[in-house]
Structure 1
Amino acid sequence: AGDEISQYYDPMIAKLIVHGADRTQALRRLRQALREYQVVGVATNIAFLQRIISHEAFANAHLDTGLIARHHEALFPPSPPPSPEFLAMAAIAEYAAMRDAVAAGAIASGDPYSPWRDVDTWWLNTEEHFIALNYVAEDTSYPVRLRLRNAAIAVDVGQRQFTASIESLEHALAVTLDGDRFTTNVVAHGEERYVFCNGTMQRLKLVDPLAHAGEHMEHGGHLAAPMSGTIVSVMVEPGDAVARGTPLMILEAMKMEHIITAASDGVVSAVHYRAGDQVREGADVIDVAAPAPTP
């Protein structure tokens, strides 16, 4: 435990092998095994593997080295926005973590039954007080509000409203949203929140406005390497104007090519790596500044 894998080594961290009486059974076991993986802190290709084994060509064993290229659009779809249910589960898990931390502190204090240690939204003469959380995914902000109402939790996610309840399980939470029960595990890794549910993982960032009050807005223009690897191609130069979604650089990692694109319209202000360079996960590879205002 604690070993650091650099970009100079094969980034494979696990190999999954299944078998069955026939291909159908083996695929079913493979899908189930991939649903049970929960990896945080590093980028993985689990979601990509799930898409491959669910594709008709793979299911029917129509396999060759051109499979990925032929079905590139289906295997690399745009990232969907987080669903209201996943955002609600993330917020409820955050509340549960705060509640448990306060309960542990109360037990260790000299006054474990003090009402001032409760994590609730009670406020004198009003029912509008709430716990406000702000999540970010793909540069889009998603505010979530929670209000405690007796044994239930009212959750507002944009225009969606849920009545929720939670139950602690051994290694997960059982969250009920408007009568629908979900088993979820939300893992905190710094500001990142990895929400696992039904074999799907949603990566969110919990933003604390106070913690970032002194940062410059330009930070959003720094594009980072999604994982350690080798720069294969750089398609832009400083001074180039780019639109949101424009390919800027290709990174080869995990034996696959990953295209780094512009997150918004702007002008390339710096390119920090050239083709052939090795980069670490999270390294700042390209900076894109906001476009100059139109006179």
Structure 2
Amino acid sequence: MFTKILIANRGEIACRVAATARRMGVRTVAVYSDADANAKHVAACDEAVHIGGSAPKDSYLRWERILEAARQTGAEAIHPGYGFLSENEDFANACAAAGLVFIGPPASAIRAMGLKAESKQLMEKAQVPLVPGYHGAGQDPSMLHQEADRIGYPVLIKASAGGGGKGMRLVEKSQDFAAALESCKREAINSFGNDAVLIEKYVLRPRHIEIQVFGDTHGNCVYLFERDCSVQRRHQKVLEEAPAPGMTEALRKKMGEAAVAAAKAVNYVGAGTVEFIVEQPGGYDQPDAMQFYFMEMNTRLQVEHPVTEAITGEDLVAWQLLVAAGQPLPKPQSALKIIGHAIEARICAENPENNFLPATGSLNVYRKPDCTSFAIGDVRVDDGVREGDAISPFYDSMIAKLIVHGDDRAQALARLDAALQQTHIVGLATNVQFLRQVVKSKAFATAKLDTALIERERAVLFGQDAVGRQLAIAAAVAATLEQEKTTQTADPFSQRDGWSMYGRSQRYFQFAYQGVELAATLAYAQGGAPAQLSVTEVGAQAAGEAQTLQWRALGAGGLDLQLGAQRCSVQVYVQGEAVTVFTPAGSAQLTEVDLLAHAGDSGTEGGRLTAPMPGKVVSFAVQAGDSVTKGQPLAVMEAMKMEHTIAAPADGVVQELLYAPGDQVAEGAELIRITSAVAA
């Protein structure tokens, strides 16, 4: 076994590898960029080496600096994690040339499986089922268009060197193909340095089911069963679970053996994932009719590997280290069993209500589930951040992975919702509430799964108010009054407790909640006790219904709150005017407006179109003087390794482009000035 390894990655995977290595008595070396100087993974390792600037191309993708760090620290092997250099054959070869063990497959396997088109040709020879499509080397745009027309729409254009949902476009009709191809190639060259694409028939009602495989240098290869990764947004996974719901033993064996055949075809060593697209021609309730097709092989550990660990009881990172050290697989196929059910939720810094736009900011509050309230092993959090850390625009938007295990799927679902309820993040937008909506939706709960689930269930997943404005404002008012108690003096005339010598007194508040301005009136009973709260939209003619409000402080922002007949425990975090309320049903964000502080503020920004997040301007689709219509694409930005199209919010005329392609811009920076358009 190794005595010291270098982890050529960051975030939660670097922390995970460091933890396993420590249990095995192996010392670890972290590498870090400028942005990660104080990151959790740096503290998790025994040593750390600075390798460059914040952008990946200046640090985590500079493998010559990583190799030098390994040489300086005396590391014997390099664990690449996932992403960055984990599937880079040149890096694997460079490790070997430097006398270092690459903890992953041989470079030949990475090369064979790294290009989607070539790998599918290889799988065809190995008799692994393939989706109908074009996987050839020719890349002439007109020829590719003809192939798409031949295959029949809808089709998927996929970057041959791609992964993680990048460089992928769905095309539903022929006239949209050219624009989609251009966008796909641009994203592919930026992400992978290779703009070659392949085209495949888009499978209707598709499920994404992948098989975890593991090979060693002794010729052994096993599969550790399947994971269902069908719940996706923008072709990226949101929830993953194992085993796949509805999987029959016959289909599991057939898919597992096909995955092993795929791995053996390239003499695979280490952890890998063979991904299949599964068609459901008989509908969701007829698993016997399911047909599977090879999509690709990821020649690395996957983000979702913890669910496989949960149902098998195996540490896959430990397996990686053992196999890389030349030892045989710890177990044969016959000794591997499925135990219970596991689900992983990816907690990301993003705004689901705004097309999952990535978010940046600080983790002002980061509270994880109380694992002591669950049995040991039932709940696990893999992360690479701590409270107070910043989520930057340089890397992936994932904050943490929340993994739960249960005796069956129903129990795992209940534990996942309970753990998500206990996950409190304040300071930037996240998808935690959206994940709860998915978990509680009938489609997911009853395993009506396909990759279009999120789009198909938009009506129940988006625009939901889980808390309700009455309860959210009641919690904010109670929290404000509790906070004021800590600053009050002994002077009775300075107290803000509603006491009045004669009759009743009232206290007024103003809030912004889900884009609506609301006025709240708290009417005190004689003697100063809070009596009733009413909430009315600003400018409304009729007053809102008044409800009795009572609460008891529980400490650290917690309140036992009763509004009318409704009683629940809430947690309230107040940061300036921003108020975040967590309840058993979900969370809500609102703004408590300080009217004096905002006196004189302008009510509109006119015709400014601003960047919705920090990132790089990729291109503009318009020029000064062009007339535009509402919804028309105006510009493309890149942030957190994804492209985002910015559209016109209303009809208007372009006055000026304020940046050039390639420019880095801050969130809120004015990009385009247009007349007769509302603010972006």
TM-score (norm: length of structure 2): 0.35
Return closer, same or farther for 1:81/1:175 CA change in 2, 3 Å cut-off. Answer: closer
Q: Which residue in 1 is equivalent to 2:457?
A: 71
- Within 5 Å, give how 1:259-274 maps onto structure 2: none
Query: Which segment drifts farther, 33-42 or 191-200?
Result: 191-200
Q: Which residue in 2 is equivalent to 1:84?
A: 470
Q: Which residue in 1 is equivalent to 2:535?
A: 157
Would you say how many aligned residue pairs link Structure 1 and Structure 2? 280
Equivalent position amino acid for 1:23 in 2: R
Q: Which of these residues, 90, 96, 101, is aligned with residue 482 of structure 2? A: 96
Q: Which of these residues, 572, 575, 596, is aligned with residue 186 of structure 1? A: 572
Equivalent position amino acid for 2:520 in 1: V
8 Å CA contact retained: 1:88, 1:157: no
Q: Which residue in 1 is equivalent to 2:597?
A: 211
Higher helix share: 2
8 Å CA contact retained: 2:553, 2:559: yes
TM-score (norm: length of structure 1): 0.74
Q: Which of these residues, 494, 512, 515, is aligned with residue 139 of structure 1? A: 515
**CA-to-aligned-CA distance 1:88-113 (integer Å, 9 cap, x gap):** 221222122122322xxx2xxxxx3x
- Within 5 Å, give how 1:221-236 maps onto structure 2: none
Return closer, same or farther for 1:260/1:138 CA change in 2, 3 Å cut-off. Answer: farther
8 Å CA contact retained: 2:395, 2:640: no
Asked which structure has the greater CA Rg, the reply is 2
C-alpha separation in 1, matches of 2:643 and 2:459: 14
Return closer, same or farther for 1:197/1:8 CA change in 2, 3 Å cut-off. Answer: same
Query: Which segment drifts farther, 18-27 or 145-154?
Result: 145-154
Return closer, same or farther for 1:178/1:4 CA change in 2, 3 Å cut-off. Answer: closer
Secondary structure of 1:169's match? strand
Deviation at 1:186, TM superposition (A): 1.6
Q: Which residue in 2 is equivalent to 1:116?
A: 493
Return closer, same or farther for 1:133/1:46 CA change in 2, 3 Å cut-off. Answer: same
Deviation at 1:154, TM superposition (A): 2.0
Equivalent position amino acid for 1:31 in 2: D
Deviation at 1:137, TM superposition (A): 2.4
Deviation at 1:61, TM superposition (A): 3.6
Equivalent position amino acid for 1:65 in 2: T
Q: Which of these residues, 85, 107, 130, is aligned with residue 506 of structure 2? A: 130
Equivalent position amino acid for 1:186 in 2: V
Query: Which segment drifts farther, 139-148 or 11-20?
Result: 139-148
8 Å CA contact retained: 1:42, 1:227: no
Secondary structure of 2:588's match? strand
Return closer, same or farther for 1:240/1:208 CA change in 2, 3 Å cut-off. Answer: farther
C-alpha separation in 2, matches of 1:166 and 1:29: 28
Equivalent position amino acid for 2:548 in 1: T
Equivalent position amino acid for 1:117 in 2: S
Task: Please list every run of 5 or more consecutive structure 1 residues that lacks an aligned counterpart in the other structure.
Answer: 107-111
8 Å CA contact retained: 2:549, 2:563: yes
Deviation at 1:215, TM superposition (A): 1.9
C-alpha separation in 1, matches of 2:559 and 2:664: 40
Return closer, same or farther for 1:283/1:76 CA change in 2, 3 Å cut-off. Answer: farther
Q: Which residue in 2 is equivalent to 1:109?
A: none
Within the alignment, does 1:26 sit opposite 2:402 as a pair?
no
Deviation at 1:181, TM superposition (A): 1.5
Q: Which residue in 1 is equivalent to 2:375?
A: none
Deviation at 1:53, TM superposition (A): 1.8
Q: Which residue in 1 is equivalent to 2:272?
A: none
| Identity, % of aligned positions | 36
Query: Which segment drifts farther, 60-69 or 233-242?
Result: 233-242
Query: Which segment drifts farther, 15-24 or 182-191?
Result: 182-191
Deviation at 1:187, TM superposition (A): 0.9
What RMSD over aligned residues (CA atoms) do the two structures have, in Å? 4.0
Deviation at 1:49, TM superposition (A): 1.3
C-alpha separation in 2, matches of 1:167 and 1:189: 21
Return closer, same or farther for 1:280/1:70 CA change in 2, 3 Å cut-off. Answer: farther
Deviation at 1:9, TM superposition (A): 0.8
Q: Which of these residues, 428, 434, 437, is aligned with residue 42 of structure 1? A: 428
**CA-to-aligned-CA distance 1:228-285 (integer Å, 9 cap, x gap):** 5677897888886777x9998787777888887888x785777767888766555556
Within the alignment, does 1:8 sit opposite 2:394 as a pair?
yes
Deviation at 1:152, TM superposition (A): 3.2
8 Å CA contact retained: 1:43, 1:227: no
Equivalent position amino acid for 2:493 in 1: W
8 Å CA contact retained: 1:192, 1:205: yes
